[in-house]
């Protein structure tokens, strides 16, 4: 009898679980070959990459909390939907025209999200004076609230959506202090208490809001708008968060967002205080695992560590190795002919090379162009000084230096050890100051 009860309970549990399994089908017209559909689940932070076969991508998800998701397909094509585990949904996507439609039990909510003409603040509105800009932003929020009010949607969704619309409507508000002087062509501008009090009022700390992508983006901008006062930005960030964000989940989120971005791009040197602050305040296990993995990668690139090596050809096909350059400091420029910011640094690099000609510094350009002939054509113009080499795209050197964006500059000492794995650019005055300090040794 007990076994029957146990078996019956197991069947009931399976039945209950099956009731909360949703299937989501995306039918894609004009699909792009090899492009996967990406679904970001806001409540869990998980991402699913779904293969598109014959224009159809299908995913089933079991027993999850109803939540907003952000869906990406191709470059710069994304949209927000609301998925519920017990409600299937079919979404029609035209990858060319970017038209969207949906059918299914939760289609009313998603039709609202996909087709409502939400009001937005015109970027040029930042040229207005503070009081008028605040009125404009308030007006946009009120218009969006009216659109929600008119929609015939479940009460719980409306409660959540009202929160989301706040951050969607005021998304540009924290950017006003930087956009206003640019549009008004002002040399300097400091927001008054009128603006900053409104900014403080809009800086809502609410863990439930982390389920909205709009909130995460907005909150990081809002913190930086209020925290950064022209001093040490890292210390200012930590001080502001400690003073103003008490919710553990929200504090964990903003800490991870800010510090992971810095460490993943700049490494560990000079960032030990940030790393300690991260480990003290981040409670998301997946975020911590990702951060730990990134720190492990950067640990071998700390100042004083032996540099990863390269061996690459010059324009004449002669191989040049990093080991052959020992005896002088080595300033490396990772660049490509197609990279605008890289080309923007070249005149400054030329000035540095002329300034330190005959000194104990090798200037080395490592091209990561996939089109080697384009690099050769550029070098053959003859106006680029220094040692110019072609590294290519699949370089072990680039992987070990965690190069995810260019230009990137690296400075090594006379023994081939790292001085700075993320050195200042030639256009930065700190670069020549650093050279002077090193050459005095």
What's the predicted TM-score (pTM) here?
A: 0.84
For the stretch 312-341, pLDDT in tens is 999 999 999 999 999 999 999 999 999 999
Domain that holds residue 387: 311-439
pLDDT at 21: 66
Q: Is 5 among the domain residues?
A: no
| 51 vs 2, residue with greater confidence | 51
In angstroms, the CA 62 to CA 86 distance is: 9
Q: Is residue 51 domain-resident?
A: yes
Regarding whether 248 and 196 lie in a shared domain, the answer is no
Domain assignment present for residue 65? The answer is: yes
Residue 110 lies in a domain: no
Q: Are 20 and 45 members of one domain? A: yes
Last residue of a domain, one of 210, 227, 244: 227
328 and 382 belong to one structural domain: yes
**CATH code of 44's domain:** 2.60.40.1110
Task: Identify whether residues 317 and 412 lie together within a single domain.
Answer: yes
- Counting residues of the chain whose pLDDT is more than 70, the rounded percentage is 95
Name every residue whose Cβ is closer than 8 Å to that of residue 123 and which is 6 or more positions away in sequence: 172, 179
pLDDT for position 68: 92
* Residue 130 falls inside a structural domain: yes
Among candidate residues 227, 244, 270, the one where a domain is terminated = 227
Q: What angle do CA 337, 340, 345 make, to 5 degrees?
A: 90
Range name among 82-96, 149-163, 287-301, 343-357 with the lowest pLDDT average: 82-96
The reply to whether 264 and 248 lie within a common domain is: yes
Res 89 pLDDT > 70: yes
Rounded to whole angstroms, the maximal C-alpha distance in the chain is: 93
Domain boundary (227, 250, 277) is at 227
Cα gap 109→103, rounded to integer Å: 11
Band (pLDDT 50/70/90 cuts) for residue 13 is very low
The reply to whether 346 and 364 lie within a common domain is yes
Tell me the average pLDDT across 207-232.
Answer: 93
> Domain for residue 9, yes or no?
no
Residues 347 and 399 occupy one common structural domain: yes
CB within 8 Å of 10: residues ≥ 6 apart: none
* Residue 7: inside a domain: no
Q: Is position 111 within any domain? A: no
Q: How far is CA 405 from the centre of its chain?
A: 12
Q: Cα torsion at 179, 180, 184, 186 (round to 10°)?
A: -90
| Radius of gyration of the chain measured on its C-alpha atoms | 27
Are the C-beta atoms of residues 418 and 307 closer than 8 Å to each other? yes
Same domain, 90 and 166: no
pLDDT digits 0-9 by tens, 287-320: 999 999 999 999 999 999 999 999 999 999 999 9
Q: Provide the domain count of the chain.
A: 4
How confident is the model over 196-217, as pLDDT tens digits? Answer: 999 999 999 999 999 988 899 9
């Amino acid at each position: 009898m007990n076994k029957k009860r146990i078996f019956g309970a197991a069947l009931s549990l399976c039945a209950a679980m099956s009731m909360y399994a949703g299937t989501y089908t995306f039918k894609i017209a004009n699909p792009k070959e090899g492009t996967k559909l990406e679904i970001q689940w806001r409540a869990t932070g998980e991402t699913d990459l779904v293969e598109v076969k014959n224009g159809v991508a299908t995913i089933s998800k079991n027993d999850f909390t109803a939540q907003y998701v952000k869906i990406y397909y191709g470059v710069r094509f994304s949209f927000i939907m609301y998925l519920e585990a017990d409600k299937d949904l079919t979404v029609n996507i035209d990858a060319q025209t970017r038209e969207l439609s949906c059918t299914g039990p939760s289609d009313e909510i998603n039709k609202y999200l996909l087709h409502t003409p939400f009001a937005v603040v015109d970027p040029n509105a930042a040229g207005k004076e503070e009081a008028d800009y605040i009125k404009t932003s308030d007006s946009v929020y009120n218009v969006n609230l009216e659109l929600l009010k008119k929609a015939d949607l479940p009460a719980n969704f409306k409660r959540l959506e009202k929160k989301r619309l706040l951050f969607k409507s005021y998304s540009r508000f924290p950017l006003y202090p930087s956009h206003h002087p640019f549009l008004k062509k002002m040399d300097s501008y400091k927001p008054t208490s009128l603006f900053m009090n409104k900014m403080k009022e809009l800086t809502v700390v609410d863990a439930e809001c982390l389920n909205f992508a709009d909130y995460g983006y907005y909150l990081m901008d809002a913190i930086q708008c209020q925290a950064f006062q022209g001093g040490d930005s890292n210390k200012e960030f930590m001080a502001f968060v400690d003073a103003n964000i008490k919710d553990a989940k929200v504090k964990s989120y903003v800490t991870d967002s800010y510090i992971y971005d810095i460490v993943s791009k700049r490494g560990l040197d000079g960032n030990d205080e940030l790393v300690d602050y991260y480990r003290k305040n981040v409670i998301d296990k997946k975020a911590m695992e990702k951060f730990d993995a990134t720190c492990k990668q950067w640990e071998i690139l700390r100042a004083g560590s032996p540099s990863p090596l390269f061996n690459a050809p010059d324009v004449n096909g002669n191989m040049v190795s990093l080991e052959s350059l020992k005896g002088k400091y080595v300033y490396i420029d990772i660049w490509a002919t197609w990279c605008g910011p890289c080309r923007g640094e070249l005149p400054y690099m030329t000035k540095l090379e002329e300034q330190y000609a005959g000194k104990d510094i090798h200037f080395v350009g490592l091209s990561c162009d996939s089109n080697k002939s384009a690099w050769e054509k550029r070098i053959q113009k003859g106006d680029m000084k220094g040692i110019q080499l072609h590294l290519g795209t699949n370089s072990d050197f680039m992987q070990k230096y965690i190069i995810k964006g260019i230009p990137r500059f690296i400075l090594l000492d006379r023994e081939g050890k790292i001085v700075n794995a993320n050195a200042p650019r030639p256009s930065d005055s700190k670069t020549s100051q650093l050279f002077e300090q090193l050459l005095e040794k």
